Structure 1
Amino acid sequence: MNELLLNTARQTLLLELQEASHLPDRLGDAFLRAAHAIIACQGKVIVSGIGKSGHIGRKIAATLASTGTPAFFVHAAEALHGDLGMIESRDVLLFISYSGSAKELELILPRLEERGVVLLAMTGKPLSQLGLAAKAILDISVEREACPMSLAPTSSTVNTLMLGDALAMAIMQARGFNEEDFARSHPAGALGARLLNRVHHLMRKEDVPHVHIDATVMDAMLELSRTGLGMVAICDDNDRIKGIFSDGDLRRWLVAGGILGAPVSEAMTKGGITLNAESRAIDAKETLMKRKISAAPVVDDNGKLVGAINLQAFYQAGII
């Protein structure tokens, strides 16, 4: 029994891979027409299908929507009971049907033609009713389904999924869609946290640890203890940072025999690492990690102190 299970699984994968291997050679003018139609679309891309094609269509619509192309899925049967009202003349309809002869097409195609909707087809039968009506055909045909009875859509659904991904990725690249664009449509995910957050979103804005340049080491030490961030910004009269005084600076000062009543300017690290409030949080975190420091003051574009941040703030925001 176990050997049968493994052999059938292996055979299924090999057959699906074999069929999918033909897809790159099918890319040509029809693929370009489909891609250009979607890029030029002034409305939305509606993906439709029924049965297994519908399930794959939902995924293709979701991939298009998350990569810069407004898109949604409409079930072919539901389209005939009111959902056709969602489709406008400026839209593009991508219909998926391996046979190209789904019964719903007999009623849907005339309505699309009346409205001047651009029709694209993903089908295994280019000469079908769907194929002949479409502006461009994406060929998902297979010689053999991976199903041992050649009945259940298997190789053909893999082809559909892969060709849909190829179309979405090509269009995404053509639009110049980048990581930050992707993050905006996934704001709750890890990528959104990494790319959308700026330092000012995460920094401490109140009770920022700092002392004046004329303060003593004792003053800075008390500020260290009070705020618990591990560092204190040393500022001039205009809140511009002249240096950083950290826990490490305090230890080194005391070990060297320095006194607490000395000016902090003698014990601080001159200049020091600062972060810009508008910089990306992920870049700021990498700066801290690279410099092997746990916290830093935050400045605005004019170099004035506006906050402070430590590594813990990045971890809490999901920036790992």
Structure 2
Amino acid sequence: MKISIGLLFGGASEEHIVSINSARAILQALQIGNNLCKYNVIPIYIQRNGVWISGKIAEQVLQTKQALPLVLLKKEEKFQLWQFPTEVNQIDVWFPVLHGPNGEDGTIQGLLKMMQTPFVGTSVLGSAIGMDKIVMKTIFSQAGFPQVKYLTLEYSKLFSNAQYYSQLCNDIRTNLGYPCFIKPANLGSSVGVSKVSSHDELEIALKNAASYDNRIIIEEGIIARELECGVLGNDIPKASVVGEITFESDFYDYKAKYKDTSSKIHIPAQLPNHIIEKIQQMAINAFTTINGRGLSRVDFFYIEGTQKIFINEINSFPGFTESSMYPELWIKTGLEFHELVDKLIELALK
């Protein structure tokens, strides 16, 4: 009998459209070769308002490549937020193709664990660590990973206390310098990230980040190559080849990732063998540090002149679109897209 896959996508985060595109690519992979004989796919779309929808509407979202207008709830229908489509009972393995808050932060993983159904990807703790950059950096620091200098803050405290803001400005000037990067602690795809080149740009960048998350991280800006490595597995994970991203924009923001054709992926990255091996081992170590499962993409900064490597972040469910780095890394490592999707389901079942 075929294994029923619950393809869960959409969600309430700012990465809603990225999720749809990732799910569309995975659906196509599940309809290729042996996968077509092995799996029965049940698409379930989570609207931005949290309502779960299956059937023709979910299929239509994947076909149109974009979010549909909300199927709004009437007041007396609010209970539907906690009522799942009947197809949920048929699902053998969940494939939660969700990025950002409520999808990649342990929230959905906790729900799926309560359903007592296997799911692709890292469980609750690892997902929460990977999503929250402040917690992640704290744990990576404790584990001894080299990182660029950074500061953290709660935006709600920032302008209620003049001394707090003054001290922050002094800390940035003294410890980080300009340029620096302002990021919301809980978000992906570079949403809400700003490059700040002077004190005059600071307040606007903080407000932009705070529109997504009250907790904010400020990172030192360095001139470095941006490298990424995929990890695949459970207890004995393996690392992919190392890839590099180059871009013409000021930094690798959302537009550069998904819209700018000048951004390029180079796989494999041209690096000395000992640097490649070090990055691959660091990627595996980062994965095991957060108790990763299934997949992750680990991002690094590499300063060529000094051969210093800094870990930037780990993504417990990276972008899975046709042009995303994670599947491309594994294709160049020798695992085709549809084989990678099949392997992830196998790891979930294990």
Could you say which structure has the higher helix fraction? Answer: 1
Whichever of the two has the greater Rg, that structure is 1
Could you say which structure has the higher strand fraction? Answer: 2
**Quick one: higher RCO (CA 8 Å, sep 6+), 1 or 2?**
2
TM-score, normalised via structure 1 length:
0.20
TM-score, normalised via structure 2 length:
0.18
